Amino acid sequence: MFASKSLLLTLLVAVTINSGCTHDRDHPDTPKSTVRINNKIGQINNAERFQKYWEEGAQEGILKRLREVKDERIARNIIMFVGDGLSIPTMTAARILKGQRQNRTGEETELFFETFPTVGLSKTYCINQQIPDSGCTASAYLTGIKVNYGVLGLNGEVERHDCLASMDKSRHLESIAAWAIAAGKDAGIVTNTRITHASPGGAYAKAANRHWETDYDVKEAGYTTEQCPDIAHQLINSSPGNQFKVIFGGGRREFITTSTVDEEGNTGRRTDGRNLIEEWKNNKDSQGASFEYVWNRSQLMSAMNSPPEYLLGLFNSNHMSYHMQSDPITEPTLAELTEAAIKMLNRNEKGFFLFVEGGRIDHGHHQNWHHLALDETIEMDKAVQKAIELVGDDSLVVVTSDHTHVMTINGFTERGTDILGASDRLGWDGTPMLTLSYTNGPGARTHVNGIRPDVTKEEDYLKHLEWRAHAEVPMEEETHGGDDVPVLAHGPHHHMFTGLYEQNQIPWRMAYAACIGPGLHADGCNAASTHLPLFMLYVLAIVLLVSVMQR
Ligand SMILES: *[C@@H]1O[C@H](CO)[C@@H](O)[C@H](O)[C@H]1NC(C)=O
Ligand SMILES: *[C@@H]1O[C@H](CO)[C@@H](O)[C@H](O)[C@H]1NC(C)=O
Ligand SMILES: [Zn+2]
């Protein structure tokens, strides 16, 4: 009895002391007091210490917004950039890395696309999945319809793997690339993943499983390619893929057989004896069109001296390499691919739709390779900048993401701290934490005697690109996240992209701006000369009406 009373007293005292204490563990007075890590980059701009700096920035911001608030012109071209897995923390961390590479503190830096006048947010869930994959999201942001997890271009009546359900044509969805072609525009797709991968697949494929990239994959699932043609086959032989003027990416292996060796010595994955690269050439040849197939950067560059009507570039057997690990002699950068694609498409006076994916941001994150994920983001930003340099102000450019990842920016880290490294704060266990940490993935370290290991003491800490950032829950691959993604817009009707909306609304809004597709169109669309036949019909109707009335 006495013992329990004293325990109660002790507890009461402890609670009183704690609540009376001014020390705030959540927002520490001296975040750096626990540890000093010498990983600071750049100097804080001294002007920031005076109000004037922030006041002037704010006034400039208002004037800029007033100039940009609306743009009612009709978009001739649409260029859509998707950073696969480009979460908001990825965007923030990439801008800091960009600044720190220039020896600045980094936080104040802007990525190029961050200067776009309009920013919105999109909700990425799929019909049957809180946290989506790149297949259902690509279907949403390219066909305008949300679908089931892992499905490409087939409505919600089709579950993943259900080939037979996918044979019903009424369940097939058309992408904005097809809408553009139907309106007389040209279309093209660019990615640094396999061109048959989920995101670019959203532009042309109808597949009950995003993994059905070759006939082998379809047959392994127990179906025939007569029932469900594989994704590579659809790109080459079905509409709209067979009408794309530009197709750039990796994934050569999906187009050739297991006994065919490509230019770089790799065999393919097909078991149907087909060479789809040759089929693509034959198709173009039989149409009397000029065409070229390229597999390396120098071929691409020389093809661009006198561009053919159709250009197919497959620059790797599998995904193209991460930019920081690529051979720049054979593999073009995403910016170079974007430039070549725009030069190809810009010849159509009715305009074009171009899809560009920075697809390896996602792969970096899945491995907890934070440096590679951020560098791939910076590479996509360079491609966006190149696009804006090349096109006129009649082009709507939208930059967005399909889904997020579970990398956080944490730790009360001091200004200018190396974004790739440790925070100034220690955990209660006395062990440092990384500013960029993952909640799960292969970077999880086994605890030793119940203690979290100090990753900054690892021999190869930050020494190479494949050093994994810390993760909490061990998994073979880090997972996607379920939070909203940014949508940034520039050019005609950019203001359509403000707000928070479902991801599938994006293509409808782009199509609205460009007067294409089945949905609503901008006001100016009716005035466009493309509607002359409708106007003639009107005149005819009035003439008829008048003559009937006169009788
Ligand atoms: C950053 O600083 C390092 C070391 O002083 C220097 O070698 C490098 O050229 C600088 N980089 C830039 C972009 O200024
Ligand atoms: C690029 O391809 C062409 C045609 O196959 C070949 O002649 C050239 O050597 C290749 N370039 C490189 C750097 O591999
Ligand atoms: Zn992914």
| Burial class of residue 207 (count of CB atoms within 10 Å of its CB; 0-12, 13-18, 19+) | buried
Residue nearest to atom 10 of ligand 2 (CA): 296
Give per-residue pLDDT as tens, 70-102: 999 999 999 999 999 999 999 999 999 999 999
122 carries an active-site annotation: no
Predicted TM-score (pTM) of the model is: 0.91
298 Cα: distance to centroid of ligand 2 (angstroms):
7
- Which residues fall within 8 angstroms of residue 520, CB to CB, at 6 or more apart? 508, 512
Give per-residue pLDDT as tens, 331-369: 999 999 999 999 999 999 999 999 999 999 999 999 999
CA 68 vs. chain centroid, Å, equals 25
CA 175 vs. chain centroid, Å, equals 17
Strands 404-405 and 480-481: antiparallel
Half-sphere exposure of residue 136, counting CA atoms within 13 Å on the CB side? 23
Transcribe 69-81 into DSSP letters.
S---SPPSEEEEE
Give per-residue pLDDT as tens, 168-195: 999 999 999 999 999 999 999 999 999 9
Give per-residue pLDDT as tens, 308-332: 999 999 999 999 999 999 999 999 9
Residue nearest to atom 4 of ligand 2 (CA): 299
Contact 163, 227 (CB under 8 A): yes
Ligand 2 neighbour 285 (Cβ under 6 A):
no
Ligand 2 neighbour 315 (Cβ under 6 A):
no
3-class DSSP string for 21-65: CCCCCCCCCCCCCCCCCCCECCCCCHHHHCHHHHHHHHHHHHHHH
Query: Which atom from ligand 2 is nearest to the alpha carbon of 294?
Result: 2
Which run of H or of E encompasses 502?
Answer: strand 499-502
Substitution site in 43, 102, 103 for ligand 1 pocket (most atoms within 8 Å of beta carbon): 103
**Which residue reads 């199509």 in tokens?**
511
10 Cα: distance to centroid of ligand 3 (angstroms):
52
Transcribe 190-253 into DSSP letters.
EEEEETTSHHHHTTT--BSSTT--SHHHHHHTT--TTTS--HHHHHHHSTTGGG-SEEEEE-GG
Query: 305-311 long-range CB contacts below 8 Å, 24 or more apart?
Result: 307/340, 307/343, 307/344, 307/347, 309/245, 309/284, 310/244, 310/245, 310/246, 310/284, 311/245, 311/246, 311/247, 311/248, 311/340, 311/344
Which is nearest to 512 in space by CA: 533, 526, 502?
526
192 Cα: distance to centroid of ligand 3 (angstroms):
14
Question: What is the full per-residue pLDDT of the chain (551 aa) written as tens digits?
Answer: 344 444 444 444 444 444 444 566 677 665 454 555 678 999 999 999 999 999 999 999 999 999 998 999 999 999 999 999 999 999 999 999 999 999 999 999 999 999 999 999 999 999 999 999 999 999 999 999 999 999 999 999 999 999 999 999 999 999 999 999 999 999 999 999 999 999 999 999 999 999 999 999 999 999 999 999 999 999 999 999 999 999 999 999 999 999 999 999 999 999 999 999 999 999 999 999 999 999 999 999 999 999 999 999 999 999 999 999 999 999 999 999 999 999 999 999 999 999 999 999 999 999 999 999 999 999 999 999 999 999 989 999 999 999 999 999 999 999 999 999 999 888 888 899 999 999 999 999 999 888 899 999 999 999 999 999 999 999 999 999 999 999 999 999 999 999 999 999 999 999 999 999 999 999 999 876 444 455 555 666 666 666 766 65
Query: Which atom from ligand 1 is nearest to the alpha carbon of 103?
Result: 1
- What single-letter DSSP state applies at residue 295? -
CA distance 205 to 213: 10
Taking only Cα atoms into account, the Rg of the chain, rounded to an integer number of angstroms, comes to 27
Which run of H or of E encompasses 123?
Answer: strand 118-123
Catalytic residue among 4, 19, 122, 134: 134
Q: In this structure, what token pair is assigned to residue 528?
A: 């466009």
Q: What is the pLDDT of residue 6?
A: 47
